[in-house]
Amino acid sequence: MNTIDVNGLLAQMRALSAQAALPVAPAPAGTPTAGSQDFGALLKNAIGSVEQTQRTAGRMTNAFERGDPGADLGQVMVAVQKADLSFRTMNEVRNKLVEAYQTIMNMPM
């Protein structure tokens, strides 16, 4: 049976995000520091970052389709690939969280 190291998984996601130069949503004012941030807020920030990446790719795609002079096909393709990768990563994290929840719920009391 697989166990999930949530902190390790989040650290890997942060490292991949830094490598891909994805925008990271800043923590809201009054939120604890990253080391003590609760899981819900961390998940919300990650989803917000994925959403922002999707929106950016959509805007760039629309600009290219309209024929805007500043829209470069290479940049559009990279933005779309970043958006796709971030969405697939978020989907896999969701799948692992659901699997972990189901495993915990099926444990005998």
The residue behind tokens 């393709």 is 77
For residue 103 the two structure tokens come to 């495993």
Per-residue pLDDT of 20-64, as tens digits, reads 664 555 555 555 555 567 888 888 899 999 999 999 999 999 999
For residue 91 the two structure tokens come to 């989907």
- In angstroms, the CA 13 to CA 25 distance is 14
The pTM of the full predicted model, rounded to 2 decimals, is: 0.61
What end-to-end distance do the CA atoms of the chain give, in Å? 18
Report which of 57, 50, 60 is spatially closest to residue 86, judged by C-alpha positions. Answer: 50
Instruction: Supply the Cα-derived Rg of the chain in whole angstroms.
Output: 17
Model pLDDT, residue 1: 41
